[in-house]
Amino acid sequence: MKRRRGIMSERLKYELADELGFSHKVKDGDWGNITTREAGSLVRAAIERAEKLISKGAGPN
């Protein structure tokens, strides 16, 4: 199966990981070191951020 290109930018992923407190696990670029719960938290935080941007009218153009 072909792997999809990421939807989230690398910068956003690292920023969210830092906000969520597990950036130390991914500082070497190995996202395989995070737990499923942390991955879910990252996705949830990204969705919340996107929803806030959309509600402010700053959606993707």
Stretches where the chain sits below pLDDT 50 are: none
Q: Which residues fall within 8 angstroms of residue 45, CB to CB, at 6 or more apart? A: 16, 19, 20
CA-nearest of 2, 35, 41 to 19 is 41
pTM: 0.77
What is the pLDDT, as a whole number, of residue 43?
95
Residue-range domain boundaries for the chain: 10-54
What is the pLDDT, as a whole number, of residue 1?
56
